[in-house]
Structure 1
Amino acid sequence: MSDSAKVIQTVNRRRVFYIPGYDPIHPRRYRELYRKEGRAQAEVSGYEVELIGRQGTGSYGWQVTGRMDGRETEAEFDVLVWSDIVRDSMEQNIAQTYLMMARTAWTYIGSGALRRLMRLRKGPVIAALYPVGMLILQLGLALLLGRILGGLTGWLVGQMSPLLGLLCAWGIGLATVVTLLLWFRKIDNKLFVYYLMHDYSYSASTKGANPPELEARMAEFADQIAEALTSDVDEVLVVGHSSGAHLGVSILADLLRAGRLPDTRPALNFLTLGQVVPMVSFLPDAHRLRRDLHDLSQQDRIAWVDVTAPGDGCAFALCDPVSVSGVAPVTGKRWPLVFSAAFTQTLSPERWAELRWRFFRLHFQYLCAFDRPKDYDYFRITAGPITLRERYDGRAPSKSRIDVAVSKYTSMAP
């Protein structure tokens, strides 16, 4: 559905519950991203988005006023804060990281998940293999340089004392290896090797099950959503980005099964962006996630829209997360509506050329401004005058979506 001056406003007040992916940085980054990109999109699209901070609440968030199509809408954002859990999971030394790399690789290769994931999209699989390859390369370079410097030092000192030369060779070689590996770790904010390795290992360490500390945080967030559903807002919108998509699936499935959804307003809708659901749902012990996908796909209380883009090499673009996980119901599947943000069309050639090789930045493009927007606009969705369901009512899914069962593991009960 396109926005125009004839839009009938159905949302005056909205609550938005945002679930970030695996990210160690405080969620204030998402507030500032919304502020900056909302302003940029408003300039392109001819509307207003005004963001203000929020004080005195128990959760992190912000407030937004949107003025679009002659209508004014208020939105209040809450963020699922799990950056502290992410940081704790990343507090491993170099040796522990290499051991973790071996375990993660074995989990995906030994279970057959990696081979099946490659049948979907090679981009996110390459992204998963990137930290493995880079860690091996870093170790190889460190060992090579250590051997060269240690050998040269040992030869020089060995001219005076063979024993001292041997000790120097080992000492200099070991110091070189450690120093170079520490340097690689120090510049990881440019390479993203350790970050990605910890990201993939987080789910692999439990073979697809959610760790208890994350389950507890999800339950608290579910309570916040349930409370919002008893308020006088017109829409409660849950947004899950990247790894946050599968957390959102489980949170909403829990609310649905517990009977915590109201019979009437407010509307409850779900938007997933840049999802990587198969990286988890294809693992042996992801029973809960597969059950949640199955349940959420066949109800009609919550409209679920899934937006990805082939230009995003970190997401399983246009892969229906329910179908590819092998848990689609035989009949009655309603969700998600899968379509593309079409970066090559919604970004100008100049902007696309600027971003196309910045893979991690592109993974966040769904939350950013487009200089040639079509029917996907994050700021119209979160601060506009109609619900997500109404916005995409009658919208056809992308013809190139992948909706065949691929996962080896389809059990929905432990």
Structure 2
Amino acid sequence: MLRGRDADRDAQAANREAPAGRVARRLFVHIGGFDPEPPERVYRRFARETGRFRRAWSVLTVMTEPEHRPDGADWTVETTGRNWRVTTRVRLFRWDDLLDAYAAAPWWKRMGRGMLACLDFVAGGALHRYLRTAWRYALFFLYPPLTVLAFAVAAGFGGAALGRATDSALAGVLLGAAVFGALLYGPGRWFKLPLAFDDWTFASAYVRVPPQVLADRLDRLAADLVAATRDGEFDEIVVLGHSLGAVLAIDAIDRALALAPDLGRTGPPVGLVTVGSSVLKIALHGRAVRFRAALARVSVADGPFWVEYQALSDVMNFYKTDPVGDAGLVPSGRPLVRVVRISRMLDPAYYRRIWGRFFRLHCQFVRGNDRRTAYDYFMLACGPLAVRETACLPDGPASAFATDGSLIERAPANAAADVAGSEMMLAR
């Protein structure tokens, strides 16, 4: 435990003399994926998961209540370690309310629109490219339509059997239709098929052009990011996008670069973090011309530092891929790709309990860890090292802290050398 005033004095002194790569005040923008959770639930989850963060890293945290805005919510986290302190302003980018229109539609309509959206991705060449680039993701893509097909086959066999038994084709058709509807409404809901289809319906629309309401919010976020780099309040600005939120994060950074081409080169450093990323989900669609152009611009911008974390056990991300080169763009050396293991983030017993729950594993990228590893969401949000410094360490934040939670003093990372070392590590 920290010793009250002594810990405060030590942390303040450490921050006054903070070397390059150290952060005392951070703006942390969280952009979640296609998950209809309102800000209140996201805040409660964040507060709950800080318990794991405190236990794993031997730190103290104090959070304010959220301040709600039309575009999201803000709250502040004070994090104190043995010889450091960080004040983080968390800004939640909201788009769960835009998903309500999808969820409000009848389930049969959601299924129908989703099947059409999946066909659009097949016609746009995305499925072929998924199979070539990340076959696990191709299986994730095929899961909703193949499940519906399996329901249809089961209902067809049931209806055909009744038709033969009763010598009534009408009875067979009626039973088949009833069984198919019951499977969609029952097991289909348990398997989260409506949400999965809504996800693909939204993605199909986003490939062409984002909804205007979402585009307006991204414009406002971009303007806020630019303003934050100029007002001197923060030592670092981090934008983290999870799942489909990674696509929105790139879109927001691209819009900010259009407003301020020197973003990240003047003022505080800007970090872009994509985790459990769906960047290639969109970029591999043949019609995603607008997004690929934004992706290309962000990848060559020399201001923001971009790191992407990928994991094998997360079937909803693109494992061991280059989000830029594999999108058919000229490889730029960005982002820095770090492959991490979710199994190492959690206690073995808990990991065994959630193994096979693909959505829960996918969401570990934005949860607290039980163990110190190369990736830690809360260390990126609340830790004293800048994103570039953390990402370039061979073992991430696990390389930088002593058992008691104190930051181990070291020379500022040689970014080029550490990045090269990390890439070599991933290749082994």
Is this a same-fold pair by TM over 0.5? Answer: yes
Cross-structure match for 1:353: 352
2:137 to 119, 124, 130: 124
The one-letter code sitting in structure 2 at the alignment partner of 1:27 is P
Give the helix-richer structure, 1 or 2: 2
Label 1:202 to 1:387 Cα distance change in 2 as closer, same or farther (>3 A).
same
Unaligned runs of 5+ in 2: 1-10, 393-414
Query: Do 1:64 and 1:74's aligned partners in 2 also have CA atoms closer than 8 Å?
Result: yes
1:24 to 36, 40, 45: 36
Determine helix, strand or coil for the equivalent of 1:237. Answer: strand
Query: Do 1:239 and 1:272's aligned partners in 2 also have CA atoms closer than 8 Å?
Result: yes
Query: Aligned ranges for residues 393-412 of structure 1 at < 5 Å?
Result: 393=415, 394-395=418-419, 396-399=421-424
Unaligned runs of 5+ in 1: 156-164, 403-414
Question: When the two structures are superposed, what TM-score results if normalisation uses the length of structure 2?
Answer: 0.80
1:290 to 280, 289, 292: 292
Rounded to whole Å, the distance in 1 between the matches of 2:97 and 2:176 is: 33
Query: Do 2:254 and 2:298's aligned partners in 1 also have CA atoms closer than 8 Å?
Result: yes
Rounded to whole Å, the distance in 2 between the matches of 1:292 and 1:105 is: 24
Query: Do 2:222 and 2:253's aligned partners in 1 also have CA atoms closer than 8 Å?
Result: yes
Rounded to whole Å, the distance in 2 between the matches of 1:178 and 1:220 is: 48
Cross-structure match for 2:238: 237
RMSD over equivalenced CA pairs, Å: 2.8
For residue 182 of structure 1, report the CA deviation from its aligned partner: 5.1
Cross-structure match for 1:216: 216
Cross-structure match for 1:110: 123
How many residues are matched? 382
Percent identity of paired positions between Structure 1 and Structure 2 = 24
Rounded to whole Å, the distance in 2 between the matches of 1:82 and 1:57 is: 12
Rounded to whole Å, the distance in 2 between the matches of 1:327 and 1:265 is: 29
| 1:367 corresponds to 2:382 | no
| 1:138 corresponds to 2:151 | yes
Once the two structures are superposed, residues 380-411 of structure 1 have per-residue CA deviations (whole angstroms, 9 ceiling, x without a partner) of: 11011121122234244445869xxxxxxxxx
Cross-structure match for 1:158: none
The one-letter code sitting in structure 1 at the alignment partner of 2:275 is L
Cross-structure match for 1:270: 272
Judge which range, 175-184 or 233-242, deviates more: 175-184
Query: Aligned ranges for residues 10-409 of structure 1 at < 5 Å?
Result: 10-55=22-67, 57=69, 59-146=72-159, 169=171, 174=174, 177-178=177-178, 181=181, 184-185=184-185, 188=188, 190-205=190-205, 207-231=207-231, 232-259=233-260, 261=263, 264-328=266-330, 333-391=332-390, 392=392, 393=415, 394-395=418-419, 396-399=421-424
Determine helix, strand or coil for the equivalent of 1:136. Answer: helix
For residue 114 of structure 1, report the CA deviation from its aligned partner: 0.8
Query: Do 1:271 and 1:306's aligned partners in 2 also have CA atoms closer than 8 Å?
Result: yes
Judge which range, 265-274 or 56-65, deviates more: 56-65
The one-letter code sitting in structure 1 at the alignment partner of 2:28 is V
Rounded to whole Å, the distance in 2 between the matches of 1:38 and 1:234 is: 22
Once the two structures are superposed, residues 344-377 of structure 1 have per-residue CA deviations (whole angstroms, 9 ceiling, x without a partner) of: 3343443332222111100011112333322221
Rounded to whole Å, the distance in 2 between the matches of 1:28 and 1:188 is: 28
Query: Do 2:264 and 2:304's aligned partners in 1 also have CA atoms closer than 8 Å?
Result: no
Once the two structures are superposed, residues 58-98 of structure 1 have per-residue CA deviations (whole angstroms, 9 ceiling, x without a partner) of: 54132211112421111111112111222213443344344
